[in-house]
Amino acid sequence: MKKIIRLILAVLIILVAYLLQSTLFQKFTFLSVAPNLLLIVTFCFGFIKGKHYGVYVGFLCGMLIDLMHGDVIGFQTLIYMYIGYMNGYFNKLFFDEDITLPLVLLILSDFLYSMYYYVFAFLLHNRLDIQYYFIHIMMPELFFTVLITVFLYRPLLWINRKFDSMEEGGTK
Amino acid sequence: MKNRSHVRIPAKIILILLTVVCLVCVVMSIANPSFGSGARNTAASVIVPMQRGLNTVGSFFTTKAKDRQKLRELQKENKELTEQLNSLNEEISSLIQERDELTRYRQLLDLDGSYADYTKIAACVISGDPSNWNDVFVIDKGSDDGIAVDMNVIGAGENGGGLVGIVYYVGKNYAKVRSIVNDDSNVSAMIAGNSEKCIVDGDLKLINDNQLNLIQLDQAAEVKEGDMIVTSNISNKFLPNLLIGYVTDIETDANQLTQSGHIRPVVDFKHLNEVLVITQLKYTGNEEEEK
């Protein structure tokens, strides 16, 4: 039962993140590059809940993007999954109130994602001008993603804590 | 969390499994572009309606925001334009005033040119007689400026200028002028072409029509409508050949000796603003003797 509720909640969060990113965030014309909400979700699940969640959520997020937008199914799924998994490693270092480590991890994750995407989707098509993509795509995305996370991280933590305590109350 | 871990397959295994699944998918979809279209369609059928809904909401808000921004811009613009309009209106009215002034000065200048023989002093009309019975006015030049009693005053009209009146009182820095339309004003005049003498008589009843009486013109004198009336050379106060006006109608009097009628003065007495005072006095033998 708990697992089902957790699953539903996770799917819901992923869906909301995806919908927001694919619709509303595209409409904010002042954001030339939208923040990567799905990456934030994957990261948060991995970092806060551990490797299992990281892998599952990353897989779902990536699969959603691949199915809806990608040409090659599995291409983005792989990187999301690995990001979720790797952040799961740092779950041991997770403390509620610390925000520095998650931000550093998030920056690394986003950078990794950007580089992965660039190398496989652009570099292999002979798009060699990495400087341009770095300045115009990667950096803004990184910036907005971090910015959003700064505001989103604590509410997410709060939801998680509430859920945990509720779950424990339910088991008892 | 730890009490549940024994049920779980290690994350590493799951990762490896899913990686293999992904790689298979990648290879399959590269090899066959239509791979997974069923899954795609299923996902799309769930996601697309939601996106559409969210988009509607989103565009509602962005439209609202844009509208509000536009409203603010328009209000600002409106304010600016109103201010601009006000300042322009002010400018226009001051320009109109200046233009009118310029027109009057031009007319005055023309007048000055048409009586070039005389030296004149320009003066402004500063007040009129408070009563309704007299048509006299005060000018802003007096004895300090060289004005003296009996000096002739001329003014500009729309079609040329002519006689306005005569100075009858001089103060230090002002002078009073009795206009020729005043009821007690009599000007010795003549018809410009043939020098037939007559009297131009002011009449209170005719002031509002802007007309003067023309009287005591000899029965034999040839005169018709439109003839020019000027001050006569035998007048003892008015300089000769100052334009007074034009004959509007004329008829023989009951005594069969004289003709009388009306003339329309060239000067618009109702709208006098600036006048010229001719400083030269009429030379008469009498005055010489008195002195």
Percent of chain B whose pLDDT exceeds 70: 93
pLDDT of residue B7: 61
Which residues of B sit within 8 Å Cβ distance of A?
1, 8, 11-12, 14-15, 18-19, 21-26, 28-30, 33, 35-36, 39-40, 43-44, 47, 50-51, 54-55, 58-59, 62
Q: With 0-12 CB in 10 A as exposed, 13-18 as middle and 19+ as buried, what is A76?
A: buried
Please answer yes or no on whether A71 and B33 come within 8 Å at the CB atom: yes
Side-chain-facing half-sphere of B73: CA atoms under 13 Å? 6
From residue A125, alpha-carbon distances to A118, A120, A121, A129, A134 in Å are: 10, 8, 7, 11, 17
| A64-99 pLDDT per residue, tens | 888 888 778 888 889 999 999 999 888 888 777 778
In contact, B239 and B152? CB cutoff 8 Å: yes
**Among all residues of chain A, which has the CA nearest to that of B63?**
A27
B73 Cα to chain A: minimum distance (Å)? 18
Nearest residue, CB atoms, A52 vs list B14, B26, B59: B14
pLDDT of residue B285: 64
User: Cβ contacts (< 8 Å) between A15 and chain B: which residues?
Assistant: 47, 50
In contact, A87 and A46? CB cutoff 8 Å: yes
Beta bridge partners of B128: B137
Range name among B43-57, B67-81, B162-176 with the lowest pLDDT average: B43-57
User: Distance (Å, rounded) from C-alpha B181 to C-alpha B168?
Assistant: 14
pLDDT of residue A94: 77
Q: Does A152 touch chain B (CB under 8 A)?
A: no
User: Cβ contacts (< 8 Å) between A34 and chain B: which residues?
Assistant: none
pLDDT of residue B290: 39
Beta bridge partners of B120: B278
Tell me: pLDDT of B138 over 90: no
pLDDT of residue B6: 52
User: Distance (Å, rounded) from C-alpha B135 to C-alpha B208?
Assistant: 11
B56 Cα to chain A: minimum distance (Å)? 9
Stretch (H or E) spanning B175: strand B175-179
Please answer yes or no on whether A27 and B47 come within 8 Å at the CB atom: no
Please answer yes or no on whether B11 and A51 come within 8 Å at the CB atom: yes
Over chain A (172 residues), what is each successive 10-residue block's mean pLDDT?
Answer: 80 86 69 79 88 88 84 86 90 79 89 88 79 82 86 82 69 42
pLDDT of residue A31: 59
User: Cβ contacts (< 8 Å) between A71 and chain B: which residues?
Assistant: 29, 33
CB pairs under 8 A between A and B: 87
User: DSSP state, B274?
Assistant: E
User: Cβ contacts (< 8 Å) between A64 and chain B: which residues?
Assistant: 43, 47
Please answer yes or no on whether B8 and A51 come within 8 Å at the CB atom: no
For residues B178, B181, B182 and B185, what is the CA-based torsion angle, rounded to 10 degrees?
A: 80
User: Distance (Å, rounded) from C-alpha B17 to C-alpha B14?
Assistant: 5
Q: Does A68 touch chain B (CB under 8 A)?
A: yes
Please answer yes or no on whether A71 and B40 come within 8 Å at the CB atom: no
* ipTM of the predicted assembly exceeds 0.85: no
Query: Which residues does A26 contact at the CB level (< 8 Å), separation at least 6?
Result: A34
In this structure, are strands B152-157 and B197-201 parallel, antiparallel, or unpaired?
A: unpaired
Q: Does A72 touch chain B (CB under 8 A)?
A: yes
**Among all residues of chain B, which has the CA nearest to that of A69?**
B40
In this structure, are strands B120-128 and B136-139 parallel, antiparallel, or unpaired?
A: antiparallel
In contact, B261 and B249? CB cutoff 8 Å: yes
Tell me: pLDDT of B168 over 60: yes
Tell me: pLDDT of B127 over 90: no
- Residue from A100, A120, A127, A104 nearest B22 by CA: A120
Query: Which residues does B120 contact at the CB level (< 8 Å), separation at least 6?
Result: B112, B154, B276, B277, B278, B279
B81 Cα to chain A: minimum distance (Å)? 29
- Residue from A147, A72, A68, A50 nearest A106 by CA: A147
Please answer yes or no on whether A52 and B8 come within 8 Å at the CB atom: yes
Quote the pTM value.
0.51
| B203-257 pLDDT per residue, tens | 888 877 888 888 888 888 888 888 889 998 888 888 888 889 999 998 888 888 8
pLDDT, average across residues B165-194: 88
Query: Which residues does A71 contact at the CB level (< 8 Å), separation at least 6?
Result: B29, B33
**Among all residues of chain B, which has the CA nearest to that of A28?**
B62
pLDDT band at residue B79, thresholds of 50, 70 and 90? very high
Query: Which residues does B286 contact at the CB level (< 8 Å), separation at least 6?
Result: B236
B54 Cα to chain A: minimum distance (Å)? 7
User: Cβ contacts (< 8 Å) between B1 and chain A: which residues?
Assistant: 50
User: Distance (Å, rounded) from C-alpha B56 to C-alpha B172?
Assistant: 86
Query: Which residues does B2 contact at the CB level (< 8 Å), separation at least 6?
Result: none
pLDDT of residue A98: 78
